[in-house]
Structure 1
Amino acid sequence: MSIYEQLLAKKANLAVIGLGYVGLPIALAFAKKLKVIGFDINAERIAMLKNHQDPSRELPPQAFENCDIEFTHHLEDLRKAQFFIVAVPTPIDEHCQPDLKPLLSASESVGKVLKKGDYVVFESTVYPGCTEEDCVPILEKYSNLKFCEDFKVGYSPERINPGDKEHTLENIVKVVSGCDEESLEQIAQVYELVVRVGVHRASSIKVAEAAKIIENTQRDLNIALMNELSIIFDKMQINTYEVLAAAGTKWNFLKFVPGLVGGHCIGVDPYYLTYKAKELGYTPAVILSGRAINDGMGAYIAKKIVQKIIQQGINPQEARVLILGVTFKENVSDIRNTKVVDIIKELQEFGLQAHAVDYMADEKEFFHEYGLQLQTKPQGKYDVIVVAVNHQNYLALQESDFLAWAKEKTLFVDIKGSFRKKIKQMNYWSL
Structure 2
Amino acid sequence: MSLYEKIKNREEKISLVGLGYVGMPIAVSFAKKVNVIGFDISEEKVELYKKGIDPTKEVGDDAIKSTTVEFTADESKLKEAKFHIVVVPTPVNVDHTPDLRPVESASRTVGRNLTKGSIVVFESTVYPGVTEEICIPILERESGMKCGEDFKVGYSPERINPGDKVHRLETIVKVVSGMDEESLDIIAKVYELVVDAGVHRAESIKVAEAAKVIENSQRDINIAFMNELSIIFNKMGIDTKAVLKAAGTKWNFLNFFPGLVGGHCIGVDPYYLTYKAEQLGYHSQIILSGRRINDDMGKYVVENLIKNLIKADVPVKDAKVAILGFTFKENCPDTRNTRVIDIVNELKEYGITPMIADPEADAEEAKHEYGIDFDSVEDIKEMDAIVVAVGHDQFLRFTQEDFNKMFKEGSYESKVLLDIKGILDRKEYEAAGYKYWRL
Query: Which residue is 1:429 aligned to?
Result: 437
**CA displacement at 1:160 relative to structure 2:** 0.8
Cα distance in 2 between the residues matched to 1:129 and 1:84: 19
Cα distance in 2 between the residues matched to 1:127 and 1:51: 37
**CA displacement at 1:311 relative to structure 2:** 2.1
| Contact 2:53/2:65 (<8 A) preserved | no
**CA displacement at 1:66 relative to structure 2:** 5.1
Cα distance in 1 between the residues matched to 2:212 and 2:49: 28
Query: Which residue is 1:394 aligned to?
Result: 395
**CA displacement at 1:310 relative to structure 2:** 1.1
| Contact 2:312/2:435 (<8 A) preserved | no
Give % identity.
57
In the alignment of these two chains, the number of paired residues is: 431
Cα distance in 1 between the residues matched to 2:405 and 2:268: 38
Cα distance in 2 between the residues matched to 1:364 and 1:147: 41
**1:55 match: secondary structure:** coil
| Contact 1:32/1:66 (<8 A) preserved | no
| Contact 1:414/1:428 (<8 A) preserved | yes
| Contact 1:122/1:156 (<8 A) preserved | yes
In the alignment, structure 1 residue 161 sits paired with structure 2 residue 164: no
Query: Which residue is 1:75 aligned to?
Result: 75
Kindly provide the amino acid, as one letter, of the partner of residue 363 in structure 2: E
Residues 157-178 of structure 1: per-residue CA shift (max 9 Å, x gap)? 0011011101111111000000
**1:107 match: secondary structure:** helix
Residues 369-414 of structure 1: per-residue CA shift (max 9 Å, x gap)? 1122321233321111111000000011111110111233111101
**CA displacement at 1:65 relative to structure 2:** 5.4
Cα distance in 2 between the residues matched to 1:246 and 1:64: 44
Superposition RMSD on alpha carbons, in Å? 1.1
Query: Which residue is 2:380 aligned to?
Result: 379
**2:321 match: secondary structure:** strand
**CA displacement at 1:148 relative to structure 2:** 1.1
Aligned runs of 1:176-325 on 2, under 5 Å?
Answer: 176-325=176-325
**1:63 match: secondary structure:** helix
Which residue of 400, 412, 418 maps to 1:413?
418
Query: Which residue is 2:36 aligned to?
Result: 36
| Contact 1:82/1:118 (<8 A) preserved | yes
| Contact 1:88/1:124 (<8 A) preserved | yes
Kindly provide the amino acid, as one letter, of the partner of residue 161 in structure 2: N
Kindly provide the amino acid, as one letter, of the partner of residue 380 in structure 1: K
Q: Which runs of 5+ in 2 are unaligned?
A: none
**CA displacement at 1:250 relative to structure 2:** 1.3
Residues 124-173 of structure 1: per-residue CA shift (max 9 Å, x gap)? 00000100000000001111111112111000000110111011111110
**CA displacement at 1:92 relative to structure 2:** 0.8
Residues 197-220 of structure 1: per-residue CA shift (max 9 Å, x gap)? 110000000000000001100000
**1:20 match: secondary structure:** coil
Query: Which residue is 1:63 aligned to?
Result: 63
| Contact 2:277/2:283 (<8 A) preserved | yes
**CA displacement at 1:11 relative to structure 2:** 1.2
**CA displacement at 1:88 relative to structure 2:** 0.7
Cα distance in 1 between the residues matched to 2:318 and 2:298: 21
TM-score (structure 1 length as normaliser): 0.98
| Contact 2:312/2:415 (<8 A) preserved | no
| Contact 1:34/1:68 (<8 A) preserved | no
Q: Which runs of 5+ in 1 are unaligned?
A: none
**1:333 match: secondary structure:** coil
Query: Which residue is 1:365 aligned to?
Result: 365
